């Protein structure tokens, strides 16, 4: 694996998305809706690029602050609500 830049925010959003979805048991969980929710949340959050070296991301940037976690949770919840109310595909 080569050295590359990676947006940690994608991992944070994915992680919180799984948690938030448990509060929306009726929501469509197809790939399209999951991708839509993730994209919506990421568009409203700052990117957090880090470089990895041989696959190891520097540990110090992996943890997010409490404020950041609340921010991410809020954006992810709003994104899920939006997609649940208006999915991009027909039922």
Given the complex with Zn ion, which of 57 and 78 has the nearer CB atom?
A: 78
Q: Which one, of 50, 42, 30, lies nearest residue 72 by Cα? A: 42
- Least separation in angstroms between CB 32 and Zn ion: 5
50 part of the interface to Zn ion, by CB under 5 A: no
Integer Cα distance of 89 and 86 in angstroms = 9
Backbone torsions φ then ψ of 60, nearest 5 degrees: -65, -25
Shortest approach of Zn ion to residue 35 CB, angstroms?
9
Helix, strand or coil, per DSSP, at residue 63:
coil
Nearest distance in Å: CB 33, Zn ion = 3
> Scanning residues 6 to 45, which ones bind Zn ion (CB under 5 A)?
28, 30, 32-33
Residues that bind Zn ion (CB under 5 A): 28, 30, 32-33, 87
């Amino acid at each position: 694996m080569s050295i590359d830049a990676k947006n940690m925010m994608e991992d944070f959003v994915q992680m919180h998305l799984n948690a938030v979805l448990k509060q929306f048991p009726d929501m469509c969980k197809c790939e399209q809706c999951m991708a839509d929710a993730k994209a919506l949340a990421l568009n409203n959050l700052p990117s957090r690029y880090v470089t990895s070296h041989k696959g190891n991301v520097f540990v110090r940037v992996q943890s997010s602050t409490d404020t950041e976690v609340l921010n991410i949770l809020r954006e992810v919840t709003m994104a899920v609500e939006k997609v649940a109310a208006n999915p991009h595909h027909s039922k």
